[in-house]
Amino acid sequence: MASGADTPRHAHLGDRAFAAGITLLGGAVLLVVGIIVVACARLSAPAFAKLGFFRFLTGSDWNPVEDSFGALPFIYGTLVTSAIAIVVAMPVAIGLALFLTEMSPSRVRRFVSFFVEILAAIPSVVFGLWGLMVLVPILRDVVEPALQHRLGFLPLFQGAPMGIGFLPAGIVLAIMILPTIASVTIEVLRTMPAALREGALALGATRWEAIGAVVLPYARRGIMGAVILGLARALGETMAVTMLIGNQPEIHGSLFAAGYSLPSVIANEFAEASGAVHTGALAGLALVLFGVTLMLSASARLLVRLSARRLVAA
């Protein structure tokens, strides 16, 4: 670093103190993450010692009475609800962002943006209550019977419509991550040079063609980043999911069935966990959640990099 011609050999004391301070702050993040991982690992040691890491990861039995613990139903529940959330929220959020940046008059944009921000500020317990009081009865009495009537041959829509389960948890998660994805996408689209869009329009492209051929490819990377942020929120969301998923550690193919998620079971059982193995298994789930989050965002990044490379090659 010192090779640069304008870098003085002896930087001012203030500069060096500043650099040290910044480094310290940057390192603090790593330190905190490290402490959390070490603490979880130490706490979970009795569970791994008794059950074995692999058996814990792939087991599907969760029985605190018999000290038998498996993480699979919780991993499944977390992935399924997050997948529903992304599938529902991504098109809506991107559509909303395109509408606000490409089409709407600025008065409408300010008005709608305000409500998107309000949506982001609602506490998750309120979302959970709304889901329980409003969404669940609608799903139970109207939506789920209708889905079953039309599409009941699919394994996704089988079983008794209870209103509580993967579907309401996923839908509420979708609403919760919608503002995250939408507002980041809006910022990404705003940074796009106007000349690109105008160039496409000048070449005779319709608005739809301009969006499809120029705007979206340009913003793809940023939009993927927005989706990753939304996904991270969906994976870690605790309260709203706990109130809606049914809290039953089982793996069902149907979206109508009750399930359980990683953060929910930790929040539910940790305070009254009986013994070191039960506490350890819950800490183990925390590690698993950490791993799942890490792996998903790493693979999303990889996806972005690959698609960007293809874009350049094309």
Partner 1 sequence: MKRLGWFLAALSLTGGLARADSLLINGAGATFPFPLYSKWFSEYNKLHPELKFNYQSIGSGGGVKQITEKTIDFGASDSPMNDEELKKAPGVMHIPTVLGAVAVVYNGAPEGVKLTPEALSDIFLGKITRWNDPKLQAIAGQPKLPDVAITVAHRSDGSGTTAVFTDYLGKVSPAWKSGVGVGKSVKWPVGLGGKGNEGVTGTVKSTPGAIGYVELAYARQNKLSMAALKNADGSFILPSIETTSEAAAGVAMPPDFRVSITDAKGKNAYPISSFTYVLIYKEQPDAAKGKAIGQFLWWAVHDGQKLAGPLDYAPLPKPVVAKVEAALRTVTVAGKSVIASN
Q: What type of residue sits at position 87?
A: V
- Answer yes or no whether residue 269 interacts with partner 1 by CB under 8 A: yes
Q: How far is the CB of 229 from partner 1 (least distance, A)?
A: 23
Nearer residue to partner 1 within complex by CB, 27 or 275: 275
The secondary structure of residue 214, as a DSSP letter, is: I
Structure tokens, 288:
């698993």
What are the residue ranges of helices labelled H in the chain? 13-51, 53-58, 72-98, 106-121, 124-130, 136-138, 144-151, 166-190, 194-202, 207-210, 216-236, 239-244, 262-269, 275-313
Q: How far is CA 172 from CA 119, 143, 154, 222, 243, in A?
A: 12, 15, 23, 24, 11
99 to 138: interface string for partner 1, x by CB under 8 A: ---------------------------------xx--xx-
- Return the residue of 44, 247, 254, 261 that touches partner 1, per CB under 8 A: 247
- Answer yes or no whether residue 65 interacts with partner 1 by CB under 8 A: yes
Which one of 19-27, 80-88, 223-231, 260-268 is the stretch in contact with partner 1 (CB under 8 A)? 260-268
Which one of 189-197, 204-212, 218-226, 244-252 is the stretch in contact with partner 1 (CB under 8 A)? 244-252
- Return the residue of 60, 104, 158, 268 that touches partner 1, per CB under 8 A: 268
- Residue 87 burial by Cβ neighbours in a 10 Å radius (0-12, 13-18, 19+): exposed
- Return the residue of 106, 208, 272, 312 that touches partner 1, per CB under 8 A: 272
Q: Which residues bind partner 1 (CB under 8 A)?
A: 61-66, 132-133, 136-137, 140, 160, 162-164, 242-243, 246-249, 258, 260, 264, 267-274, 278
